[in-house]
Amino acid sequence: MTATRRGNVQVAIDLDRPHALTERQIADFRRDGFIRLKDVFNAEELRRYGAEIARLTIALNTQTLPLEQRSTYDRAFLQVMNLWEQGGLAREFVFGKRLASLAAALLQVEGVRLYHDQSLYKEPSGGFTPAHADQFYWPLASDRSITAWVPLQAVPMDMGPLAFYAGSQGEKFGRDLEISDESERAITANLDAQGFRIVDEPFALGEVSFHLGWTFHRAGPNRSTMPRSVMTVIYIDRDMRLQAPLNKMQQADWERWCPGAVVGEIIATPKNPVLFERA
C-alpha cells in the first residue's frame, strides 16, 4: 500500500485490493474472449501512476520519424516495454495484485506470471491499429494468455478505443499474420464475412478490458488533440511452457521477454515472476 496527497488530505492507494468479479462475467469472458470491467481504478490511482507511465514512455521511446514517414504499425502508437524494470511507480503498478488476480480468475488458472508490460501512447493524429491476434508474436504452448488494457484517461471514440471481435478467439484464419495493412484487410474481411460482432465503444475513466491472446482486436485512429495513453500488462498461466518458436517474432520474443527459458519447460525466468497465486 502507498499513499498520495490530495490537497491537505492523504489518500491511501492499494493496488492489491481485490476487484469483484461474478461467475456471469467469467462465463461471458469464456464465450467472447474479452471483457470490459468498469471502475477497476479510480481517478486518483490513474492520476498517480498514469503521469509516471506517460513520462517514462516519452523519455524511453526511440521513435524519431514524423508520423507521415512511419509505417502503418509505427503510426499506431509509441510503445515502450517492461517499464516495471525502471522500478518505482511503474513497478508498483505492474506488480499490483488487483489486475493479476482478475487475470487469473478470467483464465481460470491457479496463478499468473508476467509475460511483459507494454505502454501504448497513441499520439494526436496517430493512426489506426490494424486487426490482429497478439499470440502470433508469443512462443507459448497453450492459449492461457491474457492482456489487461488499462487506459490512463477516458477514451472517447475520437481517441481510438480498443475494439474486439466477440468470440473470435477460436478462429484460425489470420493467426499467421503480423500487424500490417494486409492483416487489417484480410482479417476484417474474414471476420465480417463470418458475422463476428465487433464491439467498438468508448472507455469510461477507470474502465479496463481483458482479452485472450488469440482474440482478434483493432483500434481506430486518434482524431483528438490529446494523446491516448494506455498501459498494458500481459499475463500467462503460472505453469505456461515455452513452445518452439513458429516465426521470427516468436524467436525474438523468447530472447527478449523470457531469456533462459527452455522449450517444453515452464517459463520461470527472472523476467517472468509469479504476480498472483490463489491462496
Backbone angles phi, psi at 188, to 5 degrees: -65, -40
Give the model confidence (pLDDT) of 157-182 as tens digits. Answer: 999 999 999 999 999 999 999 998 98
pLDDT digits (tens, 9 = 90+) for 55-97: 999 999 987 777 777 877 776 678 999 999 999 999 999 999 9
Confidence of residue 6 (pLDDT cuts 50, 70, 90): low
The structural domains of the chain, ordered by start, are: 41-277 (2.60.120.620)
Q: What's the pTM?
A: 0.93
Residue pair 258/172 in contact (Cβ under 8 Å)? The answer is: no
CB 143 within 8 A of CB 134: no
The pLDDT of residue 10 is 46
Q: What is the pLDDT of residue 76?
A: 67
User: What is the reported pLDDT for 80?
Assistant: 95
Residues 250-275 as b/e (b if ≥16 CB within 10 A, e otherwise) read beebbeebbeebeeeebbbeebbeeb
pLDDT exceeds cutoff 70 at 115 = yes
Residues 6+ apart with CB under 8 A from 207: 36, 37, 38, 39, 40, 151
CA distances from 263 to 8, 225, 267 (A): 54, 46, 9
Q: How far apart are CA 60 and CA 157, in angstroms?
A: 28
**pLDDT tens figures, 149-161:** 999 999 999 999 9
Q: Grid coordinates representing 36?
A: 470490459
In whole angstroms, give the CA distance from residue 250 to residue 178.
Answer: 11
The residue-averaged pLDDT of 212-236 equals 97
Residue for grid cell 527472472: 270
Helix (H) or strand (E) holding 34: strand 34-37
Q: What is the largest CA-CA distance in the chain?
A: 57
